[in-house]
Structure 1
Amino acid sequence: MTGEDRRFGLGASIALTLASTVLWGVAHLATERRKTGLALMAAYVLTLAGVLTVFTAFSANLLSLAVQPRWLTWLTVALVVIALAWTGVILWSFLLVRPARSDSVGRFLTATLAVALCALVLAPTAYATRLAYVSRDVVNSLFATGDTPNAPVLAQDPWNGAQRVNFLLLGGDSAPSRPGVRTDSMTVASVDVETGESVLFGLPRNLQNVPLPEGPARARFPSGFSGAGPGTPGLLNEVFQYAEDNPDVVPGVEKGKRGPTLLKQTIGDLLGLRVDHYAMVDMKGFAEIVDAMGGVQVTIKEPIVYGRRREGLLPAGTRRLSGEEALWYGRSRTDSDDYVRMGRQKCLLNAVARQADPMTVLNSFESLAAATKRAISTDLPQHLLPAVVDLSQKVKDARIRSLNFVPPLISTADPDWYEIRRKVEDTLNERPAPRTAPARTTPSPTPEADTPTSLDTACG
């Protein structure tokens, strides 16, 4: 029995169409199609229960699923199927309860309502599908597929029995007058895989005579790295680009991976750690990320001069920086030094991480994704992403300590490599002080020796 048979009026048609959108099958029951109506209601309840179960019982795993292309594909398919089924029910319900043919105005109004309801269902689905596509593209672009371990092995222990996992975090800087990349910010984050407690080991860019790993690199520089030639000072921040330009020091490694490979080995040997993975943020691309977020807010303690010709000034106080201002904020050494800049760079990254809340990310998701693809490089494989996401949740609730190897703790011109490794070992073996009585656990020239994860944005 259709609306023609029952002669539904305009009000009844609108009410039943709306009701069928909220609960499938209402219009069918009104037209005495009981079996179909009850079947649609059951399908709706089951679908709703499934969605609620995913977002409640599995809420802790949603972030992990969001970094897995296979699950993103299934999510896209599921969203499209649900949306098409929903719009089909809306149109079917409209056809059953629309006003009589003689009521042309009523038909027009109810048809307009049905189309609007379909658009209301399809629009967010199209947006969510687009987000899933962009997310999958970012994951596939940034993270290598590699050889994925068996699922049971991966689920049981993604870190392969390691108690700690060590990430090398790099800030790369380049300029038109200086080809190549200089890793001016180098930090190793050593994370306890059980508790999430972390230690950040900061290395200055100007460490000299750095011993390179055994093999062709050390054979080339038996007394420590001295640079590419007379015009280069031979600092730690040059090792990355030197490896890229000289494939014979890292034989068998393809272009684009030579720099990270040699630098991971070099810094790992300096600290006495195995560096598992690296991630590098290009500072110019980082500025694009900041702009995509709408800026980043920091509290500046002292005015900072920026620009190649000192044409700008970042006044003291709490302010929102544009991407270019944030870039110079992290890069400027005018009236300061490398070690002050190291602290500002860490602070800037922390501020961006804190302010990248879900609403900010959603509002500028595509521009952020595009900037991220240009700004970040890493050797993290895709199969480890769920484990990294889970580990990051532990890190958020755990204590972070920091030890920077800068003067007066060490001399950058003549570093005591044994002392560096000893302090790393002592720091990792020392139990952190309770949160209620924070204490400096390691000698450090900065006030970062023992900090919680709720990091301050007062950056100086």
Structure 2
Amino acid sequence: MSSGPPATSPGSLTGTDSALRTAGDRAARVRFRRAVALMLITLVLPGSAQLVAGNRRVGRIALRIWIVLVVTTLGALALGLVWSGFTFWLVSDPRVLGLLRVLLMVLAVGWAALFMDAWRIGQPLTLSAQHRRAVVGVNGLLSLSVAGTLLFSAHVVGVQRDFMIAMFGDGEATGAHDGRYNVLLLGGDSGAGRWGLRPDSLTVASIDADTGRTVLIGLPRNMAQFPFAEGSVMDRQFPHGFDCEGCYLNGVSTWAEDHTGLFGKSDTPGVDATIMAVEGITGLELNYWAMVNLEGFKNLVDAVGGVTLKVRAPIPVGGLGSDVTGYIEPGVRKLDGHDTLWFARSREGSDDYSRMARQKCVMSAMLQQVSPQVALRNFQDIAQASSEMLSTDIPSSEVDRFIDLALKARSQRVASLSLVPPMINTGDPDIDLVQEKVAAAIDRAAGQAPPPSDQRKKPRAVTGGSLGSLSEGYAANQSDDVGSAC
């Protein structure tokens, strides 16, 4: 009896079955690699998966849009590197920011849709369960990563746009006066009933329109018997100067707020009246103003990571009608927002003029130490702190100009002139002398006048943390280089 081929045991494979299984595995791996490749090329060249294996018309449209976006982005980066003004305009114009935000959101949705279509083209139902799960994971990771990044970018752009709209006005830009922009900086407390009413700090930043070279002109809040800009509303009310009982410079705003009918439909009669006073005192024509909330300033300092200052004597924390809770000790220190604010505003054991000198030191340090890299790294915190800190009439169309000037100013010395004793009698100021000093300080900053004869004299005393004293003057109040005087 002949014997046939051996019987195949259950579960074993013949050579043919094994070959078929091997070929099937190879085909499954090919389909899996193809599905993953379609998603990866969508990451690099959106629309390419559709050109290869899907709707070619959709692929062509997507790829053309992508090429245009890449070329435009590279062109914008190149232009920004050679012309900083373009970059500043790009990040400060609300219309451009609004368009960019919408574009980023549309791009996020469109790119995610292309990933989903690439997943469909990869025919996931033909894959094994293990490969199908892997493809779903890869697709989800890529689409969520790309869309999430774009949507977060749209959020950041939206924050910047909202900041620009909330912070800056839409008024008309004004040209430079005698080659300079003059901006009045007002500092006020945010306590109940005080915001915007009685500014504790008044400084004119006179900025060269070409070089950015800046002169900080400080005006004492207790100045009296001063004139207003000729022909102004306040000049008509006080033709012989602000000579009422107990009337000081920081009270002009309060007086105007009590007589708003004199200022028509103005939303800021207090600021308007203060500008009239500052123009009358200094002889300068002001372009814009900015009101700084001192409590908001504290948050701004924290947002940029603190500011390094040379503390020359213990600075009381507290006072001003409350208890002293501690001291900022002498030395070169990196101060947080709380201590920087007290360094700038403390009057305990000191006087207004020492405080003005310390405020100049803070302004100079902030200008020198807050770099574009720091601003970019802390963008959202700075935007939030600034919106709480500042109100201004600088139009958004001028922001790029002032950013450019600020960057130029970082590489130059900042000069200061404070209209305080012993040079000026704040109770009865010689306005001709005041305006002569202002003009001389600006001419020196512009390189059109020699330094004053006493420029080399160094104060010997230290009062309230500032070099100098009330009798001999404070170094940072009268200097062609505030940084070195601090």
TM-score higher than 0.5 here? yes
The match for 1:251 among 246, 263, 273 is: 263
Instruction: Tell whether 2:92 aligns with 1:76.
Output: no
User: Residue 359 and residue 395 in structure 1: after superposition, are their counterparts in 2 closer, same or farther (change >3 A)?
Assistant: closer
Instruction: Tell whether 2:450 aligns with 1:450.
Output: no
Between the aligned partners of 1:136 and 1:242, the Cα distance in structure 2 is: 36
1:192-239, CA deviations, whole angstroms, 9 ceiling, x for partnerless residues? 223323322222222222223445534544543245x5xxx4222222
CA contact (8 A) 1:174 1:182 kept: no
Q: Which amino acid aligns with 1:345?
A: Q
SS of residue in 2 equivalent to 1:57: helix
Instruction: Tell whether 2:72 aligns with 1:50.
Output: yes
CA contact (8 A) 1:171 1:186 kept: yes
Between the aligned partners of 1:200 and 1:236, the Cα distance in structure 2 is: 18
1:53-109, CA deviations, whole angstroms, 9 ceiling, x for partnerless residues? 112214521222222111111111222232233223322223223555341121111
User: Residue 251 and residue 396 in structure 1: after superposition, are their counterparts in 2 closer, same or farther (change >3 A)?
Assistant: same
Q: Which residue of 1 aligns with 2:294?
A: 283
User: Residue 139 and residue 36 in structure 1: after superposition, are their counterparts in 2 closer, same or farther (change >3 A)?
Assistant: closer
SS of residue in 1 equivalent to 2:270: helix
Q: Which amino acid aligns with 2:283?
A: G
Between the aligned partners of 2:447 and 2:352, the Cα distance in structure 1 is: 30
Q: Which residue of 2 aligns with 1:107?
A: 132
Q: Which residue of 1 aligns with 2:250?
A: 237
Between the aligned partners of 1:144 and 1:399, the Cα distance in structure 2 is: 30
Between the aligned partners of 2:360 and 2:248, the Cα distance in structure 1 is: 20
Between the aligned partners of 2:155 and 2:203, the Cα distance in structure 1 is: 35
Between the aligned partners of 1:177 and 1:431, the Cα distance in structure 2 is: 39
Q: Which residue of 1 aligns with 2:392?
A: 378
Q: Which residue of 2 aligns with 1:190?
A: 206
For 1:404-423, what aligned pairs fall within 5 Å after superposition?
404-423=418-437
SS of residue in 2 equivalent to 1:207: coil
Deviation at 1:280, TM superposition (A): 1.3
Between the aligned partners of 2:150 and 2:241, the Cα distance in structure 1 is: 58
Q: Which amino acid aligns with 1:237?
A: N
Between the aligned partners of 1:203 and 1:386, the Cα distance in structure 2 is: 28
Q: Which residue of 1 aligns with 2:277?
A: 266
1:38-61, CA deviations, whole angstroms, 9 ceiling, x for partnerless residues? 765554333211111112214521
Instruction: Tell whether 2:402 aligns with 1:369.
Output: no
Deviation at 1:366, TM superposition (A): 4.0
Q: Which amino acid aligns with 2:41?
A: A
Q: What TM-score, normalized to structure 2?
A: 0.78
For 1:14-29, what aligned pairs fall within 5 Å after superposition?
14-28=36-50
The match for 2:226 among 210, 219, 230 is: 210
SS of residue in 1 equivalent to 2:126: coil
Deviation at 1:332, TM superposition (A): 0.5
Higher mean displacement: 345-354 or 120-129: 345-354
Q: What TM-score, normalized to structure 1?
A: 0.82
User: Residue 404 and residue 18 in structure 1: after superposition, are their counterparts in 2 closer, same or farther (change >3 A)?
Assistant: same
Deviation at 1:349, TM superposition (A): 3.2
Deviation at 1:120, TM superposition (A): 1.3
Between the aligned partners of 2:194 and 2:53, the Cα distance in structure 1 is: 76
Q: Which amino acid aligns with 1:240?
A: S
The alignment yields a C-alpha RMSD, in angstroms, of 3.4
Instruction: Tell whether 2:241 aligns with 1:224.
Output: yes
SS of residue in 2 equivalent to 1:196: coil
CA contact (8 A) 2:202 2:220 kept: yes
CA contact (8 A) 2:177 2:285 kept: no
Between the aligned partners of 1:108 and 1:265, the Cα distance in structure 2 is: 73
Q: Which amino acid aligns with 2:296?
A: G
Higher mean displacement: 80-89 or 355-364: 355-364
SS of residue in 1 equivalent to 2:340: helix
The match for 1:96 among 104, 121, 132 is: 121
Q: Which residue of 1 aligns with 2:349?
A: 335
How many residue pairs get aligned? The number is 435
Identity among equivalent pairs (%)? 32
Deviation at 1:251, TM superposition (A): 3.1
CA contact (8 A) 1:64 1:389 kept: no
Between the aligned partners of 2:54 and 2:299, the Cα distance in structure 1 is: 59
Higher mean displacement: 424-433 or 311-320: 424-433
